[in-house]
Amino acid sequence: MSGMLARLLVAGCVLVIASEALAHDSWISRNALRNAAGEWCCGEGDCFVIPGGQIASTATGYRLSNGEMVPYSEAQPSPDGAYWRCKRPDGSRRCFFAPPPTD
């Protein structure tokens, strides 16, 4: 039984590593996108999709479900139509991508 448990553990680790690698092979990293300060948007496992239901548009920007406000001027266009947030190691926002506005 311990042999089976060890194989499952190894398989789980491989899946975690593979999923992180796929996250970094996104349009964000391929296009070498940067924020206004010149920082790379995509670092070590730090870009992720935020479901649209967790985003509210306000008069001044986007309000995330955690209370964070992202001014419209700091949002970059998201070509895949999803909201993306890239964070620094301390959790602060590095980049934010939003779908283009619809007219």
pLDDT at 37: 92
pLDDT at 27: 85
Q: What long-range pairs does 19-27 form, CB within 8 A, spacing at least 24? A: 20/45, 23/47, 23/48, 27/79, 27/80
pLDDT at 26: 76
Length of the chain: 103
pLDDT at 44: 63
Residues 6+ apart with CB under 8 A from 79: 27
CA–CA gap between residue 22 and residue 47 (Å, rounded): 11
pLDDT at 47: 92
pLDDT at 68: 97
Residues of the chain below pLDDT 50 = 6, 8-24
pLDDT at 21: 42
pLDDT at 87: 93
Q: How many CB atoms lie within 10 A of CB 76?
A: 17
Give the amino acid at 86. Answer: C
